[in-house]
Structure 1
Amino acid sequence: MLKSLETFVEIAKSKTVKKIAVAAAEDRTTLKALKLITEQKIAEPILVGDKEKIFQISEEVAFDVHGFEVIDEKNKSKACQKAVALVKEGKADVLTRGALGTPEYLRPILHRETGLKKAKLVSQAGFVHIPTYHKVFAFTDSGINIAPDVNEKAQMIQQCVNVFHNVGVEKPKVAVIAATEGVKTAMPSTIDAAILTQMNRRGGIKGCTVDGPLSIDLAFSKESVEHKGLDTEVGGDVDLILLPDINAANTFYKTSTFLGGAKAASFIIGTIAPVDFPSRSDSVETKYYAMACAIAQCAE
């Protein structure tokens, strides 16, 4: 069981100090998060972006970056391309973004020839610690796969499950989320959930326990499970939730963090190196944990 996001910080601390390439680094919250990362001696940044703005903002947030490599590139798209190249060439271990929109960030990452894509499917894992739940859980996918089919959903689950294995959770409990626990032909997400549950039971999705369809209340509340009389190993003790599509996942993530007081850490799975994937509007704390989470996925 993951008790807090500090687990990722401790894992990151146990590794050698990593290099983190920062695309369009002229971003206040990103630089504040990097300051925390460097103070913990987890990683050292390579800052790619508008050099003048990087130094100006760094001075304003009391982060001395003069000892780190700074690559001047005022064009944001080119800055991202250069940051991706640093990771591709092995000069950096992790990639993160600063003042970049999601399409600008993902385009060079997913480029067939020069990008970082390793697996056929690239997905996002987001780890969340919220005061109303007893452990850290994960969700997928709020930023990459728009409307995944059932086979893509199976791959997304397996990729996230493998991350849990990497951090010591041997058999995570996975809830496939829908509006109801009943299978209804008018609601394709419930049919997908039933198929995924059966795939897991027959060994098509390994190393976890999958149950669905489950509504959000059933996934997180034992009281709801008892009230509805549902027989489930997952309900009330979920480790990973698969949301039906990007709209549901993105709404869930931002509602949890902005209204629910959640701490979160998000990164991309299926790349040759860990890729941090925060929202541009995320807090300093959320970006800090996202960086730590990505660094924790690095080899020793």
Structure 2
Amino acid sequence: MYKKFEELINTRLNRSRSPKRAVVAGANEDHVLEAVFLAQEKGFATPVLVGDKEKVKDMIQRMNYLNRDYEIVHCEIDENPSEIAVKLIHEGKGDFIVKGKIETKNLLRPILNKETGLNKKGFITHFGLMQLKGYHKLLAISDCAVIPYPTLEDKKKIINEGMEALRKLGYEKPVVGALCAVETVSEKMPETVDAQRLQEMSLSGEFGDGVVIGPISYDLATRKESAKIKGYDSPYAGDVDMLLVPQLVTGNVMSKIWSADPDNIMAGCLVGADIPIVLTSRSASMNEKLYSILLCNMLS
């Protein structure tokens, strides 16, 4: 159990993991350069920078990073830097991709290409990890960036990807709370029906050594006191490792409300592809970008 991202950094160091090659698609952007070089300074990234060579070099000089170890891979103005990043991954010259100055749709297009991309499973979802004030450990949250209205089958895949990510971080038996507005099942609230079915799948062993509980409200998933008051009897109440949101808008709004408090930090990446991909909001703080790179390091 990790209480803060700094503990995750210490765990990575204790495992004696070498820095991973972070391929930045669209490296001509100050904040992403600052984040990837800070990650290098902390020992968990080696920058591979895809962009206009002269512009990137000028930026590195202006930011006083010339004495660092890095590689610049030139990208013409009419080229998609993500295509070059994907090619570098295929050639074994990178370990994960970082979104730089590029639109998300352009980042994903080469990754999702059925013939030359990095999507053998055919399913990519967003995985967030939150250092949340008031919660006793880092809390994962399911897709708030990619799949707008996940079906039951999508939710099953999202849980599998989230549990796999948590296991790579060291969680032996991940606990997922399937969030709903209420704890009872109602046909008028389809997400409660899905949550019940997912819990049944968990009880039958479909998620391996992992647990899904639901339907469950946010307060019961994160606060034991609320569960006691409401008479919700579950050993996992107030202690979940991951929240499964019923649809994208729920997770998106939750994460942005959390992020309004500077004490809260959210790392985010895409999982399910052949390699993890750093994907943060354009308004993400430096710490959020830094810890997203850390997260990809530990998942790659």
Task: After TM superposition, give the deviation of residue 199 of structure 1 in Å.
Answer: 0.8
Distance (Å, rounded) in 2 between the aligned partners of 1:210 and 1:124: 18
SS at match of 1:126: strand
SS across alignment from 2:140: strand
**Which amino acid letter does the alignment assign opposite residue 8 of structure 1?**
L
Deviation at 1:60, TM superposition (A): 4.1
Tell which deviates more after alignment, 240-249 or 251-260.
Answer: 251-260
1:37 corresponds to which of 36, 39, 42: 39
Aligned in 2, Cα 1:110/1:8: closer, same or farther, shift over 3 Å?
A: farther
Q: Aligned pair 1:26/2:28, yes or no?
A: yes
SS in 1 for 2:80: helix
Q: Establish whether residue 230 from structure 1 lines up as the match of residue 232 from structure 2.
A: yes
Q: Which amino acid aligns with 2:117?
A: G
Equivalent runs, 1:1-300 vs 2, <5 Å:
1-13=1-13, 14-64=16-66, 67-75=69-77, 78-259=80-261, 261-298=263-300
* Per-residue Cα deviation, 1:231-251 (whole angstroms, up to 9, x for no partner): 122221111000011111111
> 1:151: how far off?
1.4
Tell me how many residue pairs correspond in the alignment.
Answer: 298
Structure 1 residues 172 and 98, CA, compared in 2 at 3 Å: closer, same or farther?
same
Q: Following the alignment from structure 2 to structure 1, what is the Cα–Cα distance between the partners of residues 181 and 12?
A: 37
**Structure 1 residue 26, shift from structure 2 partner:** 1.3
Q: Whole-Å Cα distance in 1 between the matches of residues 227 and 64 of structure 2?
A: 50
Q: Distance in 1 between matches of 2:139 and 2:29?
A: 28
Tell me, which stretches of 5 or more residues in structure 1 are unaligned?
none
SS in 2 for 1:112: coil
Distance in 2 (alpha carbons) for counterparts of 1:110 and 1:9: 30
Aligned sequence identity (%): 32
Q: Once the two structures are superposed, what CA deviation does each residue of 1:120-168 show, in whole Å capped at 9, x if it has no partner? A: 3221211111121110010110112221111110111111112222222
CA contact (8 A) 1:20 1:44 kept: yes
Whether the aligned pair in 2 keeps the contact of 1:174 and 1:234 (CA below 8 Å) is no
Output the amino acid matched with 2:2.
Answer: L
Q: Distance in 2 between matches of 1:226 and 1:64?
A: 57
1:215 and 1:260, CA in 2 relative to 1: closer, same or farther beyond 3 A? farther
Question: SS state of the match for residue 55, structure 1?
Answer: helix
Provide closer, same or farther for how the CA distance between residues 170 and 97 of structure 1 changes in structure 2, counting only shifts above 3 A.
same
Alignment CA distance shift 1:199-1:77 (3 Å): farther
**CA RMSD, 1 decimal:** 1.9
* TM superposition shift of 1:76: 7.4
**Which runs of no fewer than 5 residues in structure 2 stay unpaired?**
none
1:31 Cα deviation after fit: 1.0
2:113 aligned partner, one-letter code? H
Pairwise CA distance, 1:189: 0.8
Q: Is the 8 A contact 2:280 2:288 kept in 1?
A: yes
- TM-score normalised to structure 2 length: 0.93
Letter of the aligned partner of 1:217 in structure 2?
A: D
Matched residues in 2 for 1:231 and 1:75: separation? 59
Separation in 2 of the partners of 1:112 and 1:191?
33
SS in 2 for 1:38: helix
Find the residue that maps to 2:101 and give its secondary structure.
Answer: coil
How far apart, CA to CA, are the structure 1 residues paired with 2:248 and 2:282?
17
* SS, match of residue 250 in structure 2: helix
